Structure 1
Amino acid sequence: MSRFWTLMSGLHQLAGPVTMLLYPLYASVVAIESASKEDDQQWLSYWILYSFLTLMEMLLQPLLEWIPIWYDVKLIAVLWLVLPQFRGAAFIYNKFVREQVIQRYCPGIGGGPGTGGHKSSSSPNGKLKTKLADLITTKKAS
């Protein structure tokens, strides 16, 4: 019976890296190579959320040490984000991240108020692109 628990413990320890890193890395490469934009959104959203989760975990580490099931809760949450049946990462991005970040802090991109869903040349992003293009063409001409 102790070998069984040793095996289960090892599988439990492997589940996190496989679920949180290996499968998403593989799926991200597949998404990049596909023509569909929908899977790109899912995996870019996943990496944004995973980075945020990792940052919060680093900041809250002293508190999380007191929660004995934190790893299991995190694993279940990441499974929901990763599994294609749920598309949790795209859901969270569309419902919360896009609404809060894009519309509040970057209204000139991604369909914020007054843009009609496209990037405006008068937006800060458009001005930055123009400045970068001028810089690159100036460097090449020299």
Structure 2
Amino acid sequence: MGKLIFIVSQLHKLAGPCLTLLYPLYASVMALESTTKKDDEQWLSYWILYSFITLVEMVIDPALELFPIWYDVKLVIMAWLVLPKFKGAAFLYKRFVREQMKKYRGKTTHFMGKNKH
């Protein structure tokens, strides 16, 4: 029984990197090689969100230690972002990130326009 628990715990440790890095890397390369732009949006969105989540984790790491299930919660969130059935990354990008970028881009374009004159 001890060996089974060990194997399951090791698989659990591998699930994160496989789900958050290996599969997205493979899918990103395949998206670049495809002729359609639709899959590019999903994977660019994923890498933007993955970077953001990683940065936030770095900043609030001490607080995350208080939540021992964070790794499991993150794994579920990342699965939703990654899996083609859900396309969570593209959804979040369209719904939230794009709107913020439009606001920011409008301000910087206006600001930069004033400096040109």
The equivalent residue for 1:71 is 71
2:48 counterpart of 1:48: yes
The equivalent residue for 1:107 is 106
Distance 1:90 1:107 in 2: 22
The equivalent residue for 1:32 is 32
Counterparts of 1:114-129 in structure 2, within 5 Å, are none
- Equivalent position amino acid for 1:104 in 2: K
Q: CA deviation at 1:103?
A: 1.7
TM (normalized to structure 1)?
0.75
Q: CA deviation at 1:107?
A: 3.0
Give the alignment's Cα RMSD to 1 decimal: 2.0
Count how many residue pairs are aligned between Structure 1 and Structure 2.
112
Structure 2 unmatched runs, 5+? 113-117
Moved over 3 A (4+): none
Structure 1 unmatched runs, 5+? 109-123, 125-142
Distance 1:62 1:97 in 2: 26
User: Percent identical across equivalent pairs?
Assistant: 61
TM (normalized to structure 2)?
0.90
Distance 1:86 1:107 in 2: 31
CA deviations 1:90-120 (Å, max 9, x no partner) are 00000000011x2211139xxxxxxxxxxxx
Of Structure 1 and Structure 2, which has the larger fraction of its residues in helix?
2
Secondary structure at the aligned position of 1:107 is classed as helix
Secondary structure at the aligned position of 2:28 is classed as helix
- Equivalent position amino acid for 1:46 in 2: Y
CA deviations 1:36-72 (Å, max 9, x no partner) are 1110000000000000000000000000011010000
Question: Per chain length, whose mean CA-contact separation is higher, i.e. which structure has more relative contact order (CA < 8 Å, sep 6+)?
Answer: 2
Distance 2:62 2:46 in 1: 25
The equivalent residue for 1:92 is 92
- Equivalent position amino acid for 1:88 in 2: G
